[in-house]
Amino acid sequence: MVFTSVNFILFFAAVIVLYFSAPLKWRWLVLLVASYFFYINIKPVFAILLAAVTASTYVFTRLMDQTRKESRKNVYKVINIILVLLPLFFFKYFAVINNSLIAGLQGWGIHWPLPEIELFLPVGISFYTFMAIGYTIDVFNEETPAEKHPGIVALFISFFPLILSGPIERAGNMLPQFRNPVNPDYDKVVKGLRFMLWGFFMKLVVADRIGIYVDAVYHNIPNHNGTTLLAAFFLYPFQVYADLGGYSLVAIGVAGILGIKVMDNFRRPFFAATMAEFWRRWHMSLITWLTDYVYTPISFALRQYKLWGIVYSLMITFMISGIWHAASLTFVAWGLLQGIYLSVEALTNKQRANMEKKYKLANRGWYIFLSCLITFILFGISQVFARSANLQDAFQVLGKIVTEPGALFIGAPSILIFSILGISMVMLKDFTDEYYPGRFLLFENRNKPVRVMAYSLVIVLILLIGVFDGGEFIYFQF
Amino acid sequence: MAGSLFIFNSDGMLKKLFINFLLVAAVVAVLDFALGKVLRHFYFRESSGLHYRTTYSMEKADADILIFGSSRANHHYVPEVFADSLGLTFYNTGRDGNGIFYQAALLKSVLKRYTPKVIILDYAGDFGKGRQVYDNLSSLLPYYQSHPEIRQEVNLRSPYESVKLLSGIYPYNSQLLTIAVGNLDMNKKRKSDNKGYVPLETEHPVVKEYFNSLIQQPVDSNKIESLREFVRVAKASGTRFVVVYSPLYQEHKRYWEIEICETICKEAGVPFWDYSRDSFFVQQPDLYYDPVHLNHKGALIFSKQIASRMRDVLH
């Protein structure tokens, strides 16, 4: 049941009615049942894992709460983190490690006793595992009290708008909202619906349309020239943005309608002038999670190395982020590249600041544009590794872009034309939000007819050029 | 607790939401209706291309021989060969990317109007599970309202297809540019079909790996049922009916699919002509456009063979 399906719309309508009809003290139960129903609908057996992670997290956070001894609390924390990570590691990495061992040992004539296996990754496991770990650490650090109500903890970990692809929320933000539900608020409902509508537009009109072209190119790299691969190079970051960004908007909108405020996940990422700024705007819930629970502890431990400590911390953090995405060399390369970009920026930060000051570049339009473009290209290079099936393919793509110009593969012209139209609309909205906040508003225009026309036209555009047969959301695979 | 029960006490919020929702819905409905009408008008005004060929096949074709199938049908049967050899009129209804559901729906539409003397179904042998064939049924959406006989097949797309089709725009989703080009007559390539047949001239490098990826998949019973229905309906119409599995560059590992097709034909007493392992065509690169499509040269040779066998059947 993906967000863009009719089933989800019907399901959500039923949830709204049941949720707001229920007495305040039972609303958590409505959401919990709805969340498990939503998740079971994908594959019932996965709900057992979800329940196990929830049970472990509840028990160990409660134990932490009841313990005064710091060392014992630490033991509980570590045990729970290991326990909740076990399923993630098993489903995500066991098959890769096992199959690599078979292949590797075969070369040495050694027989590995296990057969080759392929495991089906329970959808959303990375996201709810991160939420459970975050909650455990927050309780350990006494930033959040351990929740006594097991149902509220279960709801936090399984909350249906977030479970499949985030945003990766924090207990400190979510638990009080689940504990103290609010009555429906007109403005929140309308805001939620706006988020949902724009999210659907991003997914159906932009992401899935670009996906047709990018998939066609990446499925047949040897037969495409550098120009076509360059087009796919520029399109793919927009696809991911529209896909995960669109998903996040729908998730935030759905939660918002229920009166639950969820953190933003994207903030106009392609208007970032540096990679550091980019990562403050892209997949923000993941990056703040990594900052709080990975980067900060590591950089604190390495603080004696000063600037180099930061570099090491960045490298380790992004390598973990890469491996979190997938147990493959392409994602290791992806993480490595991000680490390198950010490290170089950190090491040259002072010089760049001096240069910008000396030549008064900071407010120059061309300089900002160039910086944004370079940031986009750097991110695009890393995305080639994310999109390619293996390292060989990724290097082939990058090599051909530089060495093999030729005629652009167009296929059905409507694919590229609709993609460009969709990207232009998303970028225009982001541009006005970035540089002219509060102006040129459509969804939030004071004039009601303008608002109504804006909603209507977006719906009509979705009907007209949206891709209704598109695939699932990209981040479901992680 | 005032206001805690949303349904019963929402301080007028529900009413306000409902009114605004209705307002947006009304504007969308008007736009959808108007734009849908415009798209429909121009869709059916096209005089070449895929849309036109489907419309022609469903609503106008009156040839003695009709070819049904996917891209392999469309590019493998040359009209002149059949017309010259059998002295009968010919039309090729094959459409790229469309599978047995499309073909079954098309057959019902045709038989509602007339019974051709000969029907050849070129079956591409796709019984594996996969969404693509269902998704491609979108090519029949413009005909859903006016052709009730195809609804059974179109409804396979999703349980909500009939609801989605209340929209005027939805049947023409993603077709805006194609319709525009069809009406502006900009794309000369669209003129190149010859009684539905579109020749493939260029030779492509043969990708051998293609065949290794086509091993056994879980079977889609809908597809089997649809083929069974096609065979049953065609046979019952009294036409001369043959199922053909046209040539492939290389023998593949999906014999099980051919066997299913063969069994269905055998049960119904319908001839099944399998060219998938015909030594005349296998491993002959100069006859192919790609591993699964003959080029015009290959299509000419193949059509002659089929026409010759057909002559025997007819006489």
- State residue A178's pLDDT score: 96
Does the pLDDT at position B185 exceed 80?
A: no
The answer to whether A183 contacts B10, with C-beta atoms less than 8 Å apart, is: yes
The answer to whether B138 contacts A469, with C-beta atoms less than 8 Å apart, is: yes
> How far is it, in rounded angstroms, from Cα B157 to Cα B152?
10
Q: How far is A433 from chain B (nearest CA, A)?
A: 24
- State residue A111's pLDDT score: 75
Which of A4, A417, A456, A472 best tests the B interface by mutation, with the highest count of B CBs <10 A? Answer: A456
- State residue A474's pLDDT score: 63
Q: How far is A283 from chain B (nearest CA, A)?
A: 30
**Domain boundary assignment for chain A:** 6-181, 187-477
Q: Encode B91-104: b = buried (16+ Cβ within 10 Å), e = exposed.
A: bbbbbeebbbbbbb
Q: How far is A15 from chain B (nearest CA, A)?
A: 13
- Could you give the C-alpha distances from B228 to B45, B231, B281, in angstroms and in order? 34, 5, 28
**For a pLDDT cut of 90, what percent of chain A falls above it?**
77
When the pLDDT of each residue in chain B is averaged and rounded to a whole number, the result is 86
**Domain boundary assignment for chain B:** 13-314
Span A337-344, mean pLDDT?
94
Residue with the bigger pLDDT between A319 and B252: it is A319
A459 contact residues in B (CB cutoff 8 A): 24, 28
For B250-261, how does the pLDDT look when each residue is reduced to its tens digit (9 = 90+)?
876 667 788 889
Which of B28, B35, B158, B161 best tests the A interface by mutation, with the highest count of A CBs <10 A? Answer: B28
Residue in A26, A397, A375 with CA at minimum distance from that of residue A222: A397
Span A275-298, mean pLDDT?
95
Residue with the bigger pLDDT between A307 and A313: it is A313
B167 contact residues in A (CB cutoff 8 A): 463
The answer to whether A455 contacts B3, with C-beta atoms less than 8 Å apart, is: no
A-contacting residues in B 150-189 (Cβ below 8 Å): 158-160, 163-164, 167, 169-170, 172-174, 176-178
Is A4 strand, coil or helix?
coil
Does the pLDDT at position A341 exceed 60?
A: yes
| Radius of gyration of chain A, Cα coordinates, nearest whole angstrom | 23
Within an 8 Å CB–CB cutoff, is residue B6 touching chain A?
yes
In degrees rounded to 5, what are phi and psi of residue B95? -135, 130
Written as six digits, the tokens of B220 are 């889609």
Within an 8 Å CB–CB cutoff, is residue B17 touching chain A?
yes
Size (chain A), residues: 478
* Cβ-Cβ contacts under 8 Å for B201 (sequence gap 6 or more): B289, B295, B296
Does the pLDDT at position B220 exceed 60?
A: yes
Written as six digits, the tokens of A379 are 């991110």
For A372-403, how does the pLDDT look when each residue is reduced to its tens digit (9 = 90+)?
999 999 999 999 999 999 999 999 999 999 99
Of A184, A190, A463, the CB nearest to B6: A184
Which contacts (CB < 8 Å, 24+ apart) does range A85-94 have? A85/A129, A85/A133, A87/A49, A87/A52, A87/A53, A87/A122, A87/A125, A87/A129, A88/A125, A88/A126, A88/A129, A90/A119, A91/A119, A91/A120, A91/A121, A91/A122, A91/A125, A92/A121, A92/A125, A92/A126, A92/A326, A92/A327, A93/A327, A94/A119
Residue in A202, A212, A196, A198 with CA at minimum distance from that of residue A422: A202
- State residue B190's pLDDT score: 53
The answer to whether B6 contacts A465, with C-beta atoms less than 8 Å apart, is: no
Within an 8 Å CB–CB cutoff, is residue A408 touching chain B?
no
The bridge status of strand B288-290 relative to strand B272-274 is unpaired
Does the pLDDT at position B9 exceed 90?
A: no
Considering all CA atoms of chain B, what is the largest pairwise distance in Å, rounded to the nearest integer?
Answer: 87
What's the distance, CA B105 to chain centroid?
9
Does the pLDDT at position A27 exceed 80?
A: yes
**For a pLDDT cut of 90, what percent of chain B falls above it?**
58
Does the pLDDT at position B315 exceed 80?
A: no
Contact (CB, 8 A) for A153 and A186: no
Does the pLDDT at position B212 exceed 70?
A: no
Query: Which residue of chain B comes nearest to A452, CA vs CA?
Result: B24
- State residue B253's pLDDT score: 63
Q: How many CB pairs under 8 A join A and B?
A: 81
Q: How far is B177 from chain A (nearest CA, A)?
A: 6
> How far is it, in rounded angstroms, from Cα B272 to Cα B120?
10
The answer to whether A414 contacts B27, with C-beta atoms less than 8 Å apart, is: no
DSSP string of B272-291, one letter each residue: EEE-TT-TTTTT-GGGEEET
Q: How far is B52 from chain A (nearest CA, A)?
A: 17
Does the pLDDT at position B307 exceed 80?
A: yes
Written as six digits, the tokens of A179 are 């504990």
Does the pLDDT at position B85 exceed 80?
A: yes
Span B9-28, mean pLDDT?
86
Within an 8 Å CB–CB cutoff, is residue B38 touching chain A?
no
Within an 8 Å CB–CB cutoff, is residue B148 touching chain A?
no
- State residue B1's pLDDT score: 40
B3 contact residues in A (CB cutoff 8 A): 183
The answer to whether A460 contacts B32, with C-beta atoms less than 8 Å apart, is: yes
Within an 8 Å CB–CB cutoff, is residue B16 touching chain A?
yes
**For a pLDDT cut of 70, what percent of chain A falls above it?**
98
For the whole model, what pTM was predicted? 0.89
- State residue A472's pLDDT score: 61
B174 contact residues in A (CB cutoff 8 A): 414, 418, 464-467
Peptide bond into A413 cis (omega under 30): no
| Topology of the domain covering B13-314 | Rossmann fold (3.40.50)
For A80-116, how does the pLDDT look when each residue is reduced to its tens digit (9 = 90+)?
999 999 999 888 888 878 777 777 777 777 777 777 7
User: Which ipTM value was assigned to this complex?
Assistant: 0.85
Alpha-carbon torsion angle A213, A214, A219, A222, nearest 10: 100
Contact (CB, 8 A) for B242 and B120: yes
Which of B1, B27, B33, B131 best tests the A interface by mutation, with the highest count of A CBs <10 A? Answer: B27
Among A75-89, A414-428, B65-79, B194-208, which is the least confidently predicted range? B194-208
Within an 8 Å CB–CB cutoff, is residue A455 touching chain B?
yes
> How far is it, in rounded angstroms, from Cα B288 to Cα B286?
6
